[in-house]
Structure 1
Amino acid sequence: MRKIKFLTVLSVFLLLFLSACNMNSTSKITLAEVTRSVFYTPLYVAIEHGFFEEEGIEIDLQTTWGGDTTMTTLLSGGADIALVGAETSIYVYAQDSRDYAINFAQLTQTDGTFLVAKEPKPDFKWEDLRNSNFLGQRVGGMPQMVGEFVLKKHGIDPHQDVSLDQSVDFANIPSAFASGDYEYVQLFEPTASVFETEGTGHIVASFGEESGKVPYTGFMAKQSYLDDETITVEKFTKALYKAQQWVKENDAETIAEVVHPFFEDTDVSLIASSIERYKNQDSFATDPILDEEEWQNLKDIMNEAGELPMDVPYADLVNTDFAKAVTNQ
């Protein structure tokens, strides 16, 4: 009888011990970001402020430079989660992939590029782009599609009225503009502000203000990963939501100090001005929920650019369960 009681007590102890170990265990996530940009400030806040660590998550952040490379990294198993434009998930889905990428958390909700001119344009009008030499973005990528959408909105055909060069790789666009004879380019922050400070270029307009709300950049994972790592994904989303709320509640200067380690070669005041621009145009999503209206706007922009391969239903590629769970919606 004593032996049975001893074994029962031992079993309970072991269960409690294993449960405690599980609660304190750390999950490692390899995260591929499509580029390094102040545009992704809430992610860097989540890392630097320890919000992921609070949830028992260790982030291995890799910059994979470009949508195609980032998606290939995700699908091949080189990353667990990717931060990339939602349009890439539509391209993969259209290829009849068996284990396609699902959007489960939104990070940015507007375009993040600014129109930069080589020369000062104090009285800039969109009509000034007509017959100009324009350094464009990757075919089928969100910056290029939004750029075309905005130009057409202002009555300019990007393939007829503008001398458009799309031959430069994403990572080399800033240097190509600086050294080439291009008159205009789309640039993310902080590069746009750095160019303005150096006199290399001048910010004349915002594509984010012109294009409206769209699920521009978000976190996605393969369906199999969401099925196998449900708890980890929910904890990841919870940490992200904490960061989004923190960014919402703090001023640009305070935020800039936190994310400065991710942009060590950039003056913190420039980072702050970049963050202020994004906050002023509501670029940073304040929660991770990707809604259906934004999804439809994305498809409209892709369709206008002639890049929508098929009409993909919202329910097929967007999973809001994790986002709604952490925001209690």
Structure 2
Amino acid sequence: MPEQRPGWFRVPAPGGKHTKYEELKSSLKELNLHTVCEEAQCPNIGECWNGGTGTIMLLGDTCTRGCKFCAVKTSQKPPEPDPFEPFHTAEAISRWGINYVVLTSVDRDDLEDGGANHFATTVELIKTAKSDMLVECLVSDFRGDYAAVDRLATSGLDVYAHNIETVRRLQPYVRDKRAGYDQSLSVLRRAKIAGEATGVYTKTSLMLGLGETEEEILETMRDLREAGVDVLTLGQYLRPTDHHLAVVDYVTPEKFDQYARQGEALGFSYVASGPMVRSSYKAGEFFMENMIRRGRQEEDAVAAAMAVAAGMDPNDR
């Protein structure tokens, strides 16, 4: 471990009365919902929640895997999922008055489909309640089960996110043995294919500072682009407790900026890259919202032009 964190790792405390942070925290507690923001001890919780962005964690707060970077509690037999959770989630989101929500979860290898149908049902209920709500799902690899991937990718979500976490060489040291570099790539590739008809974007994240090299990062970027991934986030790994992986080095903001430029040159639609960036960080969400809505407006304009050219009333589409 380096002796101390550099000066750029300073974030405001989330507290304070009558803030959006307190409002969201109260709403989540009332409906017995969890967030990865709290469970994984994300350093951006105050900034994101006070900005009206929270990441709801479905399927409980206990993971069946034991990745060496994550602070979420683990068990091979977590409690059964709450069948009413999709309804409570849709209710909570309707209260918050937001237009973009991220749903994530622990890994649930104890469930036949890894929880894919639970996720898909939640998405469908949210879209029923508010059709223009943009929904991002940050999910596990479902053990590489394509049927589970297809179920979620065709549920009406807008962004299918799954984190590859680190470069190929470090996978065995960082992630649970049931995860893997190639399995994650295959899931991201399948999600892009399954969601192509509805314009689903795919997204992934890398943690830096675990001993990876620049060439390994670039190799991972190229592999992700080959798999059709649209959006990439890169952030600094921070050790949640003394029982987790140590930080090997702190990547400078200038280096993160360099990786953003290299990623964009490789063809990613967007790269969010910075020391405090996390996979569901609000800066990426704001961009994603604008990108998705702009893309759909362009699609509608093209479809309307084609209808006119065919002698049809575009309003009849």
User: Do the structures match in fold with TM over 0.5?
Assistant: no
Whichever structure has more helix as a proportion of its residues is 1
Query: Greater RCO between the two (CA within 8 Å, min separation 6)?
Result: 1
Structure 2-normalised TM-score? 0.31
Structure 1-normalised TM-score? 0.30
